[in-house]
Amino acid sequence: MSNVNDDERLVEFLHQYRPDVPPASPDLEQKIICTVTTSPQKSDKQRSWLVLSAIASGLLIAWTGYRSLMPANFSTAQASLDAFLESNWDGILGGSADAQTFPVSNNSTNN
């Protein structure tokens, strides 16, 4: 229960030593309005430049993302490997005569 005691002590300390609120400035609203009206406004040319650059950036990112998702072209080695695997697989399943075979040695050295 020391936690509750510590909380009460902290609250009392904060109430006792809190700073006074500074008085409000009577002409604060007028200062704000004056600052807003004298600040330079962005021209339509600057806004259109920002919009066009944002659109161009978005299109570039979309095109790059699309290109990265497309599969790369197969090389000839990859294509020949694919053809070899397909013909052997078809030969195993269908027993076709055009399947490539590899010699298997029948050396029986383990007796």
Residues 3-51 pLDDT 10s:
778 889 999 999 999 988 888 888 999 998 998 888 777 677 778 888 8
Residues 10, 105: Cα–Cα separation, whole Å: 88
Residues 100, 83: Cα–Cα separation, whole Å: 11
Query: In this predicted structure, what is the pLDDT of residue 46?
Result: 78
Banded pLDDT at 56 (limits 50, 70, 90): very high
Residue at 38: amino acid letter: T
Q: In the numeric block, which tokens belong to residue 12? A: 């009392």
